[in-house]
A and B are shown apart, each in its own frame.
Chain A
Amino acid sequence: MSTAPSTGQAPRREADPRGSVLARARRVDPRQYVVYVAFLLILAFFAITLHDDGFLTSDNLLNIARQTAPITVMAVGMVFVLSAGEIDLSIGSIVALAALVTAIVLRDVGLVPAVAAGLGVGAAVGLVNGLFVTLLRLPSFLVTLATMGLVAGLARWTTDLEAVAVVDDTFANVFGSGDVGPIPGLVIWTIAIVALGHFVYRHRRFGAHVLAIGDNADAARVTGIDVNRVRLAVLVISGTAAGLAGLLYVGRIQAASYTLGASDLLIVIAAVVIGGTRLFGGAGSVVGALVGSLIMGMLTNGLILMGLDSNQQMVAQGVLLLIAISLTLREPKGA
């Protein structure tokens, strides 16, 4: 693997993002592109098998886009986390807590404080995760495993398992239920977050640092990258993204409940990894994560429309996932 950089550049200066270590870190992996092929294959498969069952109707395709919006938003955050060689297991629980806090503040105070509170909850949990990981040098797997339970407990405790209804139309319209012309608001959120994530990941120094750390943290440290600051930042990004996903759920279902996000964690990780992000850091793609998320949404949607019962859907989803993973993630020999 890569050793310390030998470019002789002043180590204190932030290296040019296109410099040697960083360039290697962000080198393009051709397997990334297989995800787009997998996406088209699955789309074609359902389009043919379900042509009489409404799969290709614009309503249904918009459904898929709407339904995957919170997953995609979390997936963008997760791309940063995984690329840096960390993981965040707490996102599903953050969704629930952020959603409940938002709904309560919205009911009792107002819209702007509610949005701030929801995002704040996500950022705060991310910060706690990050501080434990960086200050105490603990593995993020264990830290976020602990906060996953802790935050889920808080979410249940907040309202004693009661759901909170949202009657604020402005909030609902902005965060999930509204449309801009023919385009659902959730699609716009998806595009905005993916674009922002992609820009930071590919075109800002921060993204390059994330990849460098995930590829080889020691080498990155030698080049002058503040490894702890970046690790803290990716966990805050991920927590905030989960908070935003919570807001989008609240807007979409016009209520908050402690069960929101319960089944999201593994879907998000699957979407990100299918999308070409390495589970152990050093390579990744925000746009790939979007496509991975759409693949996951399409699988769920298509298998329901096929009329399979829920047990068969689980089996079929597993089989199709294995195929998708085999296509996109097969390590070349000697890697």
Chain B
Amino acid sequence: MKAHRVIAMLAALLAVVVLGACGSDDSESSGDTAGGSTATATATAQPSPAVGETVGPAGEKATPTSELELTPEEIEKIKSGNHTAALVWHQSSDFVNAVSRGAKDQFAELGIDVVAETQANFDAGKQKSDIETVMAKRPDALLSLPVDPTATASAYRGAVEAGANLVLLSNVPSGFVQGKDYVTVVTDDLFEMGHQAADALAAAIGGKGKVAYFFHDAEYYVTNQRDEAFKQTIEQNYPDIEIVAEQGIADPAKAEEQANAILVKNPDLDGIYVTFSQPPAEGVLSALRNAGNTKTKMVSLDLDEVLAIDMAKGGNTAALIADRAYELGQAMAKSAAYGILGKEAPEFLVAPVITVTKDNLEAGYQESLNEAPPKAVLDALG
């Protein structure tokens, strides 16, 4: 973990040096009603009626990941085939690590060997190279999150033509047809994430007051759906909550400055929604701290160490809505087996979501990432 962190810091430094060019859309996301918010998830929030549902990148209807099933005969058949798989990610992060772990554990159960793993730093050119490189090992399955649907289409085309069963996370390359070019696409229950964020924020501020809405200002269906779900849920289910400020975050690194301005204009805010935790919600949190504000409650999406510590200490952070990243990985690996077997997979799968608050912090980390919270978070819990 320590080593990971040092490497992550070095990588961050590098990223700063190369600054201009990197505009990472943080694509981590989340959420599903279907698989089930657990009892712990509702420790502080009561679910309000759903005002919409998650749809796929091309409007596909969602199927919960829990519906994937392999029979013992199918598992035996896969095991005896000596199959291989490669993981081609868009970047490296806690989220990607958890998805990778889920996929690798599931592949191990199926006797499928993971022969290569890459991450592209959000660079479409590098992702194309990564795909070409891993294809030298002729994997039967390719698990991937395309950096960009348009810019990576040609790269995936080559892999599909070489016979790899493609299982996608969140993004689908342009022009690709499910069942023909790729096995299926898996993502979080996006709408449910935004929905639970609204419920959690409403619970934290007692169901009424003024809130600010920091949304991701980019064409990205993952964050767009989550943000929209938050807004719709507040507007339709919570008539006493007023969104008094809306701020688009185009550059996630600049959220703190934007939050400073919003806090100056609206010193009496009750709550803040931030589109994702790392880095924008961390930026908003430091803006709150700089302003000496201990009253405004914040809700964001995706687990994050800084925010989790703040939450554990009873700070501004009221809840983090997390996806079950580990389960996403498992579902991708199972879907790959569908592809290898030639079994028809659902066209669009969503993994469940949980609301993590101070009350279920430890269990929430386990459910989402299949690992304990970082030590600093546990220490902060006391």
Residues of A within 8 A of B (CB): 53-55, 57, 59-60, 63, 66-67, 70, 92-93, 96, 148-153, 155-156, 160-165, 177, 249, 252-266, 300-301, 304-305, 307-311, 313-315
B137 cross-chain contacts in A, Cβ below 8 A: 53-54, 305
Does B51 interact with chain A (Cβ within 8 Å)?
A: no
Q: How far is the CB of A87 from chain B (nearest CB, A)?
A: 13
In the bound assembly, the distance between CA atoms of A156 and B21 in angstroms comes to 9
Closest to A165 in B: B150
Does B279 interact with chain A (Cβ within 8 Å)?
A: no
- 10 cross-chain pairs, A with B, having the tightest CB-CB distances, nearest first: A152-B20, A163-B150, A262-B21, A257-B151, A54-B136, A310-B119, A163-B151, A67-B129, A255-B151, A60-B136
* Complex contact A161–B23 (CB within 8 A): yes
5 more contacts with CB within 8 A, not counting A258-B23, A261-B21, are: A148-B21, A255-B151, A262-B122, A265-B18, A314-B11
What are 9 A-B pairs at a CB distance below 8 A? A60-B133, A67-B129, A67-B133, A258-B21, A259-B22, A262-B123, A305-B136, A310-B92, A311-B92
Q: Which of A92, A264, A307 contacts B116 (CB 8 A)?
A: A307
Count the B residues whose beta carbon is within 8 Å of the partner chain — how many?
50
Main secondary structure of the interface of A (DSSP, over half): helix
* Complex contact A55–B136 (CB within 8 A): yes
How many inter-chain residue pairs (CB < 8 Å) link A and B? 155
B117 cross-chain contacts in A, Cβ below 8 A: 304, 307-310
* Complex contact B219–A160 (CB within 8 A): yes
* Complex contact B125–A92 (CB within 8 A): no
Chain B 84-100: CB-based contact to A (< 8 A → 1; otherwise 0): 00000100100000001
Does B148 interact with chain A (Cβ within 8 Å)?
A: yes
* Complex contact B153–A165 (CB within 8 A): yes
In the bound assembly, the distance between CA atoms of A54 and B138 in angstroms comes to 9
Does B124 interact with chain A (Cβ within 8 Å)?
A: yes
Does B121 interact with chain A (Cβ within 8 Å)?
A: yes
* Complex contact A304–B116 (CB within 8 A): yes
Does B80 interact with chain A (Cβ within 8 Å)?
A: no
* Complex contact B136–A253 (CB within 8 A): no
Q: How far is the CB of B28 from chain A (nearest CB, A)?
A: 16
| B18, B122, B151: most-surrounded residue (chain A CB, <10 A) | B151
B340 cross-chain contacts in A, Cβ below 8 A: none
* Complex contact B125–A260 (CB within 8 A): yes
* Complex contact B154–A254 (CB within 8 A): yes
A67 cross-chain contacts in B, Cβ below 8 A: 129, 132-133
Closest to B14 in A: A266
Does B68 interact with chain A (Cβ within 8 Å)?
A: no
From known contacts A53-B136, A161-B219, A305-B133, infer whether A262 and B153 are also in contact, taking CB-CB under 8 Å: no
Which positions 122-143 of chain B face chain A at CB distance < 8 Å? Answer: 122-126, 128-130, 132-134, 136-138
Does B315 interact with chain A (Cβ within 8 Å)?
A: no
In the bound assembly, the distance between CA atoms of A148 and B22 in angstroms comes to 11
Q: How far is the CB of A61 from chain B (nearest CB, A)?
A: 10
* Complex contact A255–B18 (CB within 8 A): no
* Complex contact A257–B129 (CB within 8 A): no
* Complex contact A261–B219 (CB within 8 A): no
From known contacts A63-B136, A156-B23, A305-B133, infer whether A261 and B114 are also in contact, taking CB-CB under 8 Å: no
In the bound assembly, the distance between CA atoms of A22 and B20 in angstroms comes to 37
B14 cross-chain contacts in A, Cβ below 8 A: 266
Does B4 interact with chain A (Cβ within 8 Å)?
A: yes
A249 cross-chain contacts in B, Cβ below 8 A: 125
